[in-house]
């Protein structure tokens, strides 16, 4: 028998109870509010008894009445926001420029101010507004993984409207999934080699972004800015990844680069690129330590890696291994 039981002060024992719906009045922030409530009644003596779950429900109803009268976002909508946009409570607070625990407190029932409520209501109702906020304030986030996951979700929610996730984003996510200790420097070089070897085998580029000939080798500027906070430390890895976003050809090239280049440190890969024509030709006569934003043209990248493929008689992406080994041998001698 699953009869509800609680302690009755009159009967001095645990008793069964039933629930009645009643109209209640409560005071919140100096004002009285009428709201629909409930009370528990002892089935033996008819006295009102205390049931924590019912009292919590009455308190929520009072807060709901306050929210409705003062146009404050509902608790249900607040709780739905992190699920809707696939972002944690703390990252969302940081994104909004609030205290790290602010949104968590609102999820626990604390009442947001009207100003904060209006922001949350717009976020809840307008996914496009949230996307613009995510892009504008992504630098507030401590984890770039949080940004990537949320962006992918919002793009899907919008049905691909307004913007597209570049293929480079998929490649980055996959690299962070496969490589446990990839630093920002190594990530840059991995992207460069994936771009180059994909063109060598498929005669097209995998992503549209251009890299620049910086002091430490080819660099994708926006991606550098995104992960610069990690400095020399490994970037936070991804726990899962849907490989179906890649074709078999794309995955074959990416996997081969991971296996044959991502086994080396970022500094070793930097040496590789410093001995290759695309970086050397783009830098020209610049001093070794001179800053530069010169773009390494896709044409130069394509020509170089096509020549590499031919020189090393590469038939499949697995043959990239030979080139990587030669480059490593040269780097340790220089």
Q: Does residue 189 belong to any structural domain of this protein?
A: yes
Provide the number of structural domains found in the chain: 3
State both tokens at 303.
């020509």
b/e code 123-133 from CB counts within 10 Å (16+ = b): bbeebeebbeb
pLDDT confidence tier of residue 241, bands split at 50, 70 and 90: confident
226 lies in the same domain as 327: yes
The pLDDT assigned to 260 comes to 97
Q: What is the mean pLDDT of residues 80-94?
A: 92
Same domain, 175 and 245: yes
User: Are residues 242 and 152 part of one domain?
Assistant: no
81 lies in the same domain as 9: no
Distance CA(314)–CA(325), nearest Å, equals: 14
Tell me if 162 is assigned to some domain: no
Give the Å distances, CA to CA, from 111 to 77, 105, 114, 304, 316. Answer: 13, 8, 9, 61, 61
The answer to whether the predicted template modeling score (pTM) of the entire model surpasses 0.75 is no
Is the domain of 197 the same as that of 320?
A: yes
Residues 166, 173: contact at Cβ < 8 Å?
no
Same domain, 138 and 236: no
Is residue 162 very low, low, confident or very high in pLDDT (cuts 50, 70, 90)? very low
Domain that holds residue 327: 167-333
Do 41 and 122 belong to one domain?
no
User: Do 293 and 191 share a structural domain?
Assistant: yes
Q: Residues 259-305: pLDDT tens digits?
A: 999 999 999 999 999 999 999 999 999 998 999 999 999 999 999 99
**Domain assignment of residue 222, yes or no:** yes
What is the radius of gyration, based on Cα positions, of the chain?
29
Domain membership flag for residue 27 = yes
Residues 91 and 195 in one domain: no
Among 153-157, 175-179, 255-259, the range scoring the smallest mean pLDDT is 153-157
Residue-level pLDDT at 2 = 59
User: Same domain for 240 and 292?
Assistant: yes
């Amino acid at each position: 028998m699953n009869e509800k039981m609680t302690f009755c002060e009159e009967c001095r024992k645990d008793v069964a109870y039933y629930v009645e719906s009643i109209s209640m009045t409560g005071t919140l922030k100096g004002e009285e509010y009428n709201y629909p409530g409930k009370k528990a009644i002892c089935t033996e003596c008819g006295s009102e008894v205390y049931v924590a779950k019912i009292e919590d429900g009455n308190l929520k109803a009072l807060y709901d009445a306050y929210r409705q009268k003062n146009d404050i976002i509902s608790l249900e909508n607040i709780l739905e926001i992190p699920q809707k946009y696939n972002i944690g409570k703390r990252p969302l607070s940081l994104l909004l420029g609030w205290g790290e625990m602010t949104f968590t407190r609102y999820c626990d029932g604390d009442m947001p101010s009207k100003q904060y409520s209006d922001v949350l209501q717009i976020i809840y109702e307008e996914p496009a507004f949230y996307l613009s906020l995510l892009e504008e304030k992504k630098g507030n986030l401590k984890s770039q993984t949080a940004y990537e996951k949320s962006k992918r979700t919002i793009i899907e929610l919008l049905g691909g409207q307004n913007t597209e996730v570049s293929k480079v984003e998929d490649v980055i996510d996959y690299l962070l999934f496969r490589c446990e200790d990839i630093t920002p420097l190594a990530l840059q070089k991995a992207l460069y080699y994936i771009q180059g070897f994909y063109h060598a085998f498929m005669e097209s580029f995998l992503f549209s972004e251009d890299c620049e000939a910086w002091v430490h080798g080819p660099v994708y500027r926006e991606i550098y800015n995104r992960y610069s906070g990690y400095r020399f430390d490994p970037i936070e890895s991804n726990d899962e990844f849907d490989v179906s976003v890649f074709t078999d050809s794309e995955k074959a090239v990416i996997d081969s680069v991971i296996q044959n280049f991502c086994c080396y440190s970022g500094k070793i890969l930097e040496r590789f690129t410093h001995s290759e024509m695309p970086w050397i030709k783009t830098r020209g006569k610049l001093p070794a330590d001179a800053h530069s934003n010169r773009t390494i043209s896709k044409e130069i990248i394509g020509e170089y890696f096509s020549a590499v493929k031919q020189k090393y008689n590469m038939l499949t992406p697995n043959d990239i291994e030979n080139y990587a080994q030669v480059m490593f041998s040269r780097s340790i001698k220089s």
